[in-house]
Amino acid sequence: MNTAILERPLAAVAADEAASSRSLDLQFSTAHEMHEGLDNAVATLIETAKEAACGILVTRLHPGRYTVAVDESVPFGETYESIAA
């Protein structure tokens, strides 16, 4: 599989698009794709996290599958990692 192409959300988006821009679901087949894809996903959500005054949570769902999301439980300016049980 290939890394999904991530784009920065536009400043003026509809409410439903804004909600979806707070979380990205990603799947990778190689470690190189994973590192580059997660870096890009975090960079994409930084502006949204700033506006929400919170941090970003990267969750490993299973090998090669991740969710990167703006999360109010993460302090502003920080990125936390977790593994889903």
pLDDT per position as a tens digit, 60-73: 999 999 999 999 99
Across 5-9, 32-36, 62-66, least confident range: 5-9
Q: pLDDT over 90 for what percent of the chain?
A: 73
Whole domain around residue 21: which residue ranges? 15-83
- Work out whether strand 55-62 and strand 23-27 pair parallel, antiparallel, or are unpaired: unpaired
In a domain, 6, yes or no: no
Domain membership flag for residue 1: no
Let me know if residue 4 belongs to a domain: no
In a domain, 66, yes or no: yes
Is 39 within a domain? yes
- Assigned token pair, 16: 């439903």
Task: Work out how many domains the chain is built from and give that number.
Answer: 1
Q: In terms of Cα–Cα distance, which of 54, 60, 56 is closest to 82?
A: 60
* Inside any domain, residue 54: yes
